[in-house]
Structure 1
Amino acid sequence: MKRILTFTSATLVASQLLLVNPAQAFYHDPEDGKEHSHEQDQAQVQQQFDDYVSALQQEALDKGYQQQTLDQAFADIEYYQRAVELDKNQPEFKLTLDTYLPRAVPEWKADKAIEKYNEHKQLLEKIGAEYGVQPRFIVALWGIETNFGSFTGGFKVVSALTTLAFDGRREAFFKEQLWEALTIIEEGHIKPEQMKGSWAGAMGQTQFMPSSFMSYAIDYDGDGKKDIWNSYGDVFASAANYLKSVGWRDDVTWGRQVQLPAEFDETLADLDVKKSLDEWQAMGITRMDGSDLPSRDDIKASVVIPDDKEGRVYLAYANYDALMRWNRSHYFVAAVGYLSDRIRFPR
């Protein structure tokens, strides 16, 4: 570990020296045989980015966006090198669910979830009844996504999306998200300078991408704006509307942790394989305490093994599938489900 830290420190020092006097930091480019400085590279990228922004604005005008919208949206446009780095080098954590869940849902977060649930209980129950979504899941999503709205990201969404489109790796996707972001601005839901989100453009307390905003965001408080940044009603109703739209059921939970028999065929552990609880039980699957599964023939479930048979195993219900539509990560779904259970069954 000491070697890694020493190397990192040396790298940081070298980087700082480059920043102090970048004109002296030259390197040889084998493609053109010339010496270049990092300062020249940065200037070249900035010029290319500026040209790209100009072309984007013209394309937006051709699509029918108003000049006033573009003037506002691109007034303080920035190239986010950090967004490009994060997009290309998303971290891979070598964790198991048993080590991940305590990090994703520490005791303080479970306690805060219960506190927030009680604080907004009347509004949550009203929205939950209207959309057919149990309020504890709305709070759990809110807690996992943005720590109950306290961390929604500090990137300017238009700048982040423009940067990632310019980078070119997924240009078509990020350009489509940019057009949706411009529509959101043009419709007056949020001012460009207040339109903050993640490095990838996920916005507000629900962390909706602009396309999800356009499909699922709700103006619940009736003020003419779908404000997933500041309005609790809009935040909760938008989350509930998303879940309802992707097949949520309010008569079942998300899933349950189970035990597998030693001879279980792991090829059956797939979200596309659906069986009744009675069928799974006939194959030897039980609750964690060894007792029978609930006897409900109206529930189809899948077996999910996020790590291996020695780790946590779940029977995943329809709501598990719905949460996977929100974020296609078994760890994310398990964290939301676990936090919702902590709200339902406080310790």
Structure 2
Amino acid sequence: MKKLLSVILGTTIASSVFANEAEFAQYVEGLKQEARTKGISEQVISVAFEDVTYKPRAITADRNQPEKKLTLDEYIPRAVPDWKVKQAKELYEKHYDELVKIGEEYGVQPRFIVALWGVESNFGRFTGHYSVIDALSTMAYDGRREEFFRKETMAALTILEQGHISAQEMKGSWAGAMGQCQFMPSSFLSFAADGNGDGKKDIWNTEADVFASAANYLSQSGWQDKYTWGRQVKLPHGFDTSIQGRSEEKGKYLQEWSEMGITRYDGRPLPKLDEDIKAWLIAPDDANGRVYLVYNNYNVLMKWNRSYYFALAVSHLADRIVL
């Protein structure tokens, strides 16, 4: 009976997959037509969609993202282990001259460029093996965020039209995040930069382009290179944590936070700057977990990825690179 049920279920699943593939082929024809209306050449459309394949694993990955929430005390050591810090320092030294040049051009400290590189793709080692056109077409066809993924598909085709990468080499994650800095195609079009002057923006294979693209993203998003990202702090007993948050009205100057009894994590007073700056109090877990005062640069990292944990991982790695 179990064997028969298994056969029946297996047939049902297989039929469903074949049905999806048939409908997917029709859906792709719609994508092609939209691309034509946006000025994408027939040659690019033909090559990009020549072997396009429905990827059910991308849908599964999207729907089965982990729900377990780690605390920062659990997450930070996993995201920024000692071996990653060691590699970050070695790569920082290896590319130092190039990083300094790019950092000065865009107004971004090199350690943050390397930290983003490390957290996003483990310094280019984990960039995803999906065809970006396959992944984006599949996600658009799935329908839950169709408008978003159709736009990203059109952006990916524009990148191919511009000649920065071939369709075969355009690889990324199941969601279409591409290259060593894991840009979505729309972010690529807005922020990718030619770091080595060869006329292409190759965030897959060319480290200078990866560095320049990351720096350009931060720069255009409001980065201030004379400041850091923030720091872990200690609250006085009974502090009202309802005032934490990153909304504009919850920002206060460092001197104000200091007058409220907040200190550095080791108990020393907060820094006194020649020009006082705004900071925001955040407690991503709760008041009993890690608490931080963050500056504008942290808010910029949150534009890159809206996860408090991601931004803190990048920040902690950047700090450890120069320790």
TM over 0.5: yes
Is residue 2:208 matched to residue 1:230?
no
Q: Aligned match of 1:279 in 253, 256, 259?
A: 256
Shift of 1:299: 1.3
Shift of 1:60: 1.4
What TM-score, normalized by structure 2, do the two folds share?
A: 0.96
Q: Could you tell me how far apart the structure 1 residues matched to 2:74 and 2:156 are? A: 37
**1:333 is aligned with what amino acid?**
A
Q: Which of 90-99 and 106-115 deviates more? A: 90-99
Is residue 2:260 matched to residue 1:260?
no
Secondary structure (helix, strand or coil) at the match of 1:127 reads helix
Q: Could you tell me how far apart the structure 1 residues matched to 2:14 and 2:308 are? A: 43
Q: Could you tell me how far apart the structure 1 residues matched to 2:189 and 2:154 are? A: 11
**1:292 is aligned with what amino acid?**
P
Shift of 1:222: 1.6
Name the counterpart of 2:43: 68
Q: Aligned match of 1:119 in 68, 91, 94?
A: 94
Q: Could you tell me how far apart the structure 2 residues matched to 1:138 and 1:153 are? A: 20
Is residue 2:275 matched to residue 1:294?
no
What TM-score, normalized by structure 1, do the two folds share?
A: 0.89
**1:283 is aligned with what amino acid?**
M
Q: Could you tell me how far apart the structure 2 residues matched to 1:109 and 1:37 are? A: 45
Q: What per-residue deviation string (whole Å, max 9, x for no partner) do you get for residues 3-51 of structure 1?
A: xxxxxxxxxxx9xx89xx98x3249xxxxxxxx7222212111100011
Name the counterpart of 1:322: 300
Secondary structure (helix, strand or coil) at the match of 1:37 reads helix
Name the counterpart of 1:304: 282
Q: Could you tell me how far apart the structure 2 residues matched to 1:136 and 1:26 are? A: 53
Secondary structure (helix, strand or coil) at the match of 1:203 reads coil
Q: Could you tell me how far apart the structure 1 residues matched to 2:180 and 2:291 are? A: 30
Shift of 1:216: 0.3
Name the counterpart of 1:139: 114
- Identical columns (%): 56
> CA 1:190/1:293 → structure 2, altered by over 3 Å: closer, same or farther?
same
Q: Tell me if the contact between 2:54 and 2:138 (Cα under 8 Å) persists in the aligned partners.
A: yes
**2:258 is aligned with what amino acid?**
Q
Secondary structure (helix, strand or coil) at the match of 1:248 reads coil
Name the counterpart of 1:8: none
Is residue 2:3 matched to residue 1:25?
no
Q: Could you tell me how far apart the structure 2 residues matched to 1:240 and 1:79 are? A: 34
Alignment of 1:1-347 (within 5 A): 24-26=7-9, 37-272=12-247, 273-296=250-273, 297-345=275-323
Q: Could you tell me how far apart the structure 2 residues matched to 1:344 and 1:244 are? A: 21
Q: Tell me if the contact between 2:284 and 2:291 (Cα under 8 Å) persists in the aligned partners.
A: yes
Aligned residues between the structures = 319
Shift of 1:267: 1.5
Q: Could you tell me how far apart the structure 1 residues matched to 2:152 and 2:177 are? A: 10
**1:343 is aligned with what amino acid?**
I
Q: What per-residue deviation string (whole Å, max 9, x for no partner) do you get for residues 122-181 of structure 1?
A: 000010111110000000000000000111111110000000000000000000000000
For structure 1, the residue ranges without an aligned partner over 5 or more in a row are 1-13, 28-35
